[in-house]
Structure 1
Amino acid sequence: MSEELRLRILSSIVLIPLVLGATWLGDIAFRAISALIGLLIYYEWSTITGLADKSLRGNAWGWLSIVVVCLNLLFGSPDMTLPLLSGFVVTVLILAILGRVCGWLPGGIAYAGLSAVSLAAIRGDDAVGFSAMIFVFVIVWATDILAYFVGRAIGGPKLAPRISPGKTWSGAIGGTIAGVIGGLLVALTIFQTVSVWNVAVALLLSVSSQIGDLFESFIKRRFGVKDSSRLIPGHGGVMDRVDGLVFACFAAFFLAIIYAAIDARSVDTLGSFLFGL
């Protein structure tokens, strides 16, 4: 067994029970994991894009924004988290347009902040939230694993050769099918039935997770880095591990917001929304 593989296995043995345990507990435990993911993503984003080197003041703005958003997520009003994040992003975007801060700064705040906010919103504090989070996990994991193996087995035309040369259309399609099946199995296990809504949501989350993977590959290729960091031994960085997950959560979160605007339904019920309850 290679040293890298040994490190990957050891890291997984530690991290998987930690994440699943926090998911089971919900409440402050999962919000703390979500906040930590958001903070670490911003750290990696700022490192990859060189924000600290380009603008120390701008990077300080970024850290202030993410820390305040995460503290509100943990101890403040959940309804204020998204408006607070939006205010920071808009403010820094204006500063970027005026040339006062680096143009990559608002993107980093939005990416890291939404990662924390959307994860916490899906889990919520009830049993349905736990089921919804497992639903998302299974879709993303099944998509990622089967896309890799189907792509290697079948090969064929490249999906996005300039961004990620190893990804193929066969892998993307195989991963999507696996993600939808995985999501439906979760829904069937929990509710003993599945619906067209379950299929549509699982399809959206699977495709979104692959877009997230491509997005992170684009950022790394743009700045010439192999891994987002070395925070997780054998795995690279946090962004490397949650790129697909957070984009799937983004898709679910914004779909729920659109639905809430149309039907006057609170995004606090995001777990129920994902299952069409």
Structure 2
Amino acid sequence: MTRELKLRIVSGIVLALFALVVTWVGGHVFALFSVAIGALIFSEWSTMTRLVLRGRRGVVLGWATLALSAVFMFALGILAALAVVFVGVIAAALLYRARHASPWLPAGILYSGLSMISLAAVRGSGEAGLLATVFLFAVVWSTDIMAFFFGRAIGGPKLAPRISPGKTWSGAIGGTVSGVAAGAAVQILAGGQGVLRILAIALVLSAAGQAGDLFESWVKRRSGVKDSGRIIPGHGGVMDRADALVVAAALALAIVLVQAALSGDLAALDGQRASIGAILLGL
């Protein structure tokens, strides 16, 4: 085992334990943790894509949108925070059309804003949110870890050679199967109903996580960088470590919002922060 791989494993274990402790505590602690992740993602995105070179207005708009959406998330709920993010994205698109900002700006605001809000929303404030977040971790982490080992052990055709040459179809399939199994295990241990439904959700979230990983690799390749940052030893930046998780979390939130909208309970979500996790797992 190489020194770099050892560092990566140790660093990954420390990060996982920290994330689990913060998840267990929940409440404002986890919400602030989510805000920090969103802020670090936008910082790394801004550096990678060199937003400041196209004008400081865009960077100021991005930070203002994140700050205001965080305040709205604490004071008014996730729907208000999402509205702020989408307004910020529209404003960034208009600023780009006026040639005062980079084309990467709207995507950066959307990516970092949804990352922050989705993680906080899935965790919520109750036991169901705790279980839903553990479920999300289990699916994404199992997919990521086992995709690496399956890819190394089996090899074979590349998944997306122009974007991420190291990823293989064997790794993607093995990771997906592992992620679905881990998600089902959490659901069964939690005593939730509808295992077939959970298998489908875990499958979709596992695929979304891998798509998020590929998306970040594409952004790095377009930006000409190897890592999104240097804050995490052996891993690079926050985006390098959280790329799959934040996309899966955003899709999990989207699933809940669609289901709540179809049942007519969308407005109640902000008043019942524990309900998002309950709806996701069917508790």
User: What is the TM-score of this pair, normalised by structure 2?
Assistant: 0.92
SS of 2:24 mapped into structure 1: helix
Instruction: Indicate the residue corresponding to 2:276 in structure 1.
Output: 270
Gaps of 5+ in 1: none
Deviation of the 1:261 alpha carbon? 2.0
User: CA–CA distance in 2 between the matches of 1:17 and 1:160?
Assistant: 31
Q: Structure 2 matches for 1:1-277, cutoff 5 A?
A: 4-5=4-5, 7-8=7-8, 11-12=11-12, 14-191=14-191, 195-266=195-266, 267=269, 268=273, 269-277=275-283
| Paired letter, 2:201 | V
Alpha carbons 2:194, 2:282 under 8 Å: kept: no
Greater displacement, 168-177 / 60-69: 60-69
What is the RMSD of the two structures over their aligned residues, measured on CA atoms? 1.8
How far apart in 2 are the matches of 1:126 and 1:29? Answer: 13
TM-score (norm 1): 0.94
CA positional deviation for 1:19: 1.5
Determine the C-alpha separation between the residues in 1 that align with 2:171 and 2:98: 42
| Contact 1:35/1:73 (<8 A) preserved | no
Structure 2 counterpart SS, 1:229: coil
Deviating beyond 6 angstroms after TM superposition, the runs of 4 or more aligned structure 1 residues are none
Closer/same/farther in 2, CA of residues 99 and 170 from structure 1, 3 Å limit: same
Distance 1:129 1:218 in 2: 32
SS at match of 1:102: coil
Deviation string 1:108-164 (CA, Å, 9 cap, x unpaired) is 000000000000110000000000000000000110011111111111111111101
Question: SS where residue 166 of structure 1 aligns?
Answer: strand
1:193 Cα offset (Å): 5.5
Count of matched residue positions in the alignment of Structure 1 and Structure 2: 277
SS at match of 1:66: helix
Q: Is the 8 A contact 1:184 1:194 kept in 2?
A: no
Deviation, 1:237, is 0.2
Aligned-pair identity in percent equals 47
Answer whether contact 1:32 1:74 (CA < 8 A) is retained.
no
1:16: how far off?
A: 2.9
